[in-house]
Amino acid sequence: MNTTGRHTEIARRYGDKRKREPFSIAAKRVSELTRLFAARYRGALPDDDAGRDDAFVMVHHLACRPDAERRIPLWLGLHAPWMAVGEIRDLTATAIAKPFRWKADKLAKRLNLIEADRQRLGITTIGAVDVDKAARLTRRKERARLRREHQRRSAGAQKRIDYEANSLSRTKPWEAMGISRRTWYRRHTNPGGTSACAA
């Protein structure tokens, strides 16, 4: 292949980087399911009911992706090598014709995903059987609050308790000097001690 041919092939494979694929929940789920199954099985899915059910879930997510007719058999051949060719063909056709879609908590129940594994694997689009949606939202808000607080501390902001402990209204330095608060502030805003009218 000559240089022009190679450049054409590269352009075809990678395309224009500006033409990015829009966000897809199915693509995100496929990535998260891949991590989950890799952590659980350390290889191919088992040739049992659990393995078949996990394959079923993955196939229905792959069916929502482009080029599903090619993706599904490739994935099953790699992760469920025990599955017969006829079963792969039937499962692929059924999923593409009418792919199932699961809500986060229903899919978590089907996969028996617990919050500890969800956090460890960085899964965000699937729920957890031991922590409901409301509790996850509360935790997410708390993590965001702590993140913002850390950013403020890194930028040099004081904690409110420290600020108040050192505030003038609490330490009252004018009392130690035996003068009024107003006099103390006037002296500190005008260190010379004279007013603007004094001449």
Task: Render pLDDT for 170-188 as a digit per residue (tens, 0 to 9).
Answer: 777 778 788 888 888 888 7
Residue 3 lies in a domain: no
Residue 180 lies in a domain: no
Residue 165 lies in a domain: no
Q: How confident is the model at residue 191 (pLDDT cuts 50, 70, 90)?
A: low
Domain that holds residue 63: 25-101
pLDDT for the residue 58 = 97
Bigger pLDDT: 107 vs 187? 107
Q: Determine what percent of the chain is predicted with pLDDT higher than 70.
A: 80
pLDDT for the residue 199 = 39
3-state secondary structure of 167: coil
Residue 29 lies in a domain: yes
- pTM for this entry: 0.62
The string of DSSP letters for 41-88 reads HSSSPPSSHHHHHHHHHHHHHHTTSTTHHHHHHHHHHHH-TTS-HHHH
3-state secondary structure of 148: helix
Q: How confident is the model at residue 94 (pLDDT cuts 50, 70, 90)?
A: very high
pLDDT for the residue 146 = 84
Q: What's the whole-number mean pLDDT along residues 86-92?
A: 95
Residue 171 lies in a domain: no
Residue 131 lies in a domain: no
What's the structural domain count of the chain?
1
pLDDT for the residue 33 = 96
Residue 147 lies in a domain: no
Least-confidence region, from 12-21, 112-121, 137-146: 12-21
Query: What is the rounded CA–CA span in Å between residue 101 and residue 64?
Result: 9
Q: What's the whole-number mean pLDDT along residues 164-170?
A: 64
Residue 11 lies in a domain: no
